[in-house]
A and B are shown apart, each in its own frame.
Chain A
């Protein structure tokens, strides 16, 4: 995961020249149609089920947890008992309660970083595609610079300078997503820019911001939806990894990535403290990727007749 080449993966999924574009003004609710078609695919439904399960655990888990996440209830690495069904962690806290408390942070941080990155990337991509001049060159050169940093190294460079702050992680993950999104959106928008209805609006003296928002944006919704899904999958992986490395939420807070870090040395004695959060992250990322794949297939019209 966390791979930059997903630009190619996304491009690979989106047909050359974008979807067949009918009269522009009718395209405004295209994304609803794509989502409706995606929801008919089995893989999308399985993915939604997996993501839904994790969201339910993360949101309602804290309400039903039998213990406080920071309360010491047994000897370190104590095996499962009727009181602590998944045993105690490396410090003697209830693994199950820490698991139920530990999902919300990674979820909101990933969602925030994804939205930030996709919005930023879409604006950069559309402006670059529309401008077709020095501004395009400057934006793309800036993109290249950010693309050169492996995402996790960029985030940790900022963390080492400013400190392990959650907002900083959200912002820098978003910034590293932006050029990857911008490349895809720019590619899709470049074909639209050449079309007659855009030229007609320019001749009619329409404002640039309006042409971009109402002429271009509605016609790049399918790559946009795919990017949202892809970036969400990568955000979850990155943010969980940063927390696993110890630069996210700080102890004694309960967090899936941190739990894996705290219990990994006792993995042979007490695997549950590692296994539960690892499984949750795996189910979540596989779920978001299945939904993304469903959206991508619906966007090209693949599988539409399958069911």
Chain B
């Protein structure tokens, strides 16, 4: 098992290194001179020279990469070319807000979708199962901004006026001090990921329910509740681990659109502003963060799968 885990860790590090090359290459892709491309043609020569210096554009490509990745690894991501603030300072409040949003969404979505998966598996091919399966087919098709705007129309502007349509937070106010601003963005994320997790959970649960050990447990006369929650669910949940990790990683991209829809002050809306201003240090930092989250979550999901699968746990020691 140790060998398997080490191999998986090494792969993760290699993938992160390759990802950093792609993210770094984005600056090289700026057409013409990068500093002129960011500042526009009217910028003064002094301003351009200062920015070239700030982005280390006068060095060779290799040393540019090394100084950039060195900064990323030590937590110094450079300075925003739009506001001249250090990127880490610019993003720290926003990272907290986004983490809160994703946390709320995950805490609701994971038990909800596992529950729906188990529930529909136990009612396979009955009307409730068909209704939910068609409902998730529709929901899975909808882009997240369509879901978000649908929720705004329903719960913020026309039918009910329960929640704010946009997040009106003071610049230094954290999202959890006014939880009502989180409800609709979190609901959007929950609705976007639930169909995928519950679908996998349902499929894997159906398979487990047809297995011999579940039949055996029932024949032993165990109460149905024990059969389901003690014997079936722990085995059926393994495939759902991978999908859940992918869904959480997806949220790192999903928040970009969802935060924009609700003007939620997180890293997603910071990313949109940065793309608008061609603020490359901010764009690169957030991109690197999102990709790293994917790699780490996938790694954790693989480790969790190894840990709960006896065959993998014992072989290749």
Interfacial residues, chain A to chain B (CB-CB below 8 A): 1-6, 8-9, 12, 141-142, 144-145, 147-154, 156-163, 233, 236-238, 240-241, 244-247, 260, 264, 267-268, 271, 274-275, 278, 281-282, 285-286, 288-290, 293
Q: Which of B146, B196, B290 contacts A149 (CB 8 A)?
A: B290
CB distance from A117 to the nearest CB of B (A): 16
Instruction: Say yes or no: A158-B141 contact (C-beta < 8 A), given A8-B242, A278-B149.
Output: no
Main secondary structure of the interface of B (DSSP, over half): helix
Instruction: Judge if B132 is at the interface, Cβ distance under 8 Å.
Output: no
* B125-159 contacts to A (CB < 8 Å): 137-138, 140-146, 149-150, 152-153, 157-158
Q: Separation in Å of the A234 CB from the closest CB of chain B? A: 9
Q: A153-B253, A162-B29, A289-B137 are in contact. Are A236 and B247 (CB under 8 A)?
A: no
| CA gap between A288 and B39 in the complex, in Å | 42
CB-nearest residue of chain A to B252: A150
CB-based contact A153/B271 at 8 Å? yes
Count, A-B residue pairs, CB within 8 A? 180
Q: Which of B179-203 contact A (CB under 8 A)?
A: 192-193, 196, 199-200, 203
- Are A162 and B272 interface neighbours, CB within 8 A? no
Does B48 make an interface contact (CB < 8 A)? no
Cα distance A275–B140 when bound, in Å? 20
Q: Does B4 contact A (CB under 8 A)?
A: no
> How many of chain B's residues have a CB under 8 angstroms from any CB in A?
64
In this complex, what residue of B is CB-closest to A6?
Answer: B196
* CB-based contact B280/A160 at 8 Å: yes
Q: How far is the CA of A154 from the CA of B31 in the complex (A)?
A: 18
B254 CB–A CB distance under 8 Å: yes
Across-interface contacts of B237 in A (CB, < 8 A): none
B26 within 8 Å of A by Cβ?
yes
Task: Return chain A residues, CB-CB under 8 Å to B295.
Answer: 148
Does B22 contact A145, Cβ atoms closer than 8 Å? yes
Is B66 engaged at the interface, CB distance under 8 Å to the other chain?
no
Counting chain A CB atoms within 10 Å of each CB, which of B137, B149, B249 scores highest?
Answer: B149
Across the interface, do A237 and B149 meet the contact criterion of CB distance under 8 Å? no
Chain B, 273-297, contact with A by CB distance < 8 Å: what is the 0/1 string? 0111011100110110011001100
A151 and B254 alpha carbons, distance in the complex (Å): 9
Contacting residues, chain B, for A162 (C-beta < 8 A) = 29-31
Q: Please give, as numbers and ranges, the residues of chain A lying within 8 Å of B18 by CB-CB distance.
A: 141-142, 144-145
Q: List 24 A-B contacts (CB under 8 A).
A: A1-B142, A2-B143, A2-B253, A3-B246, A5-B200, A6-B196, A8-B196, A9-B140, A141-B14, A141-B18, A148-B295, A150-B250, A150-B254, A150-B294, A156-B256, A157-B26, A158-B29, A160-B275, A160-B278, A241-B145, A244-B145, A267-B157, A268-B157, A285-B141
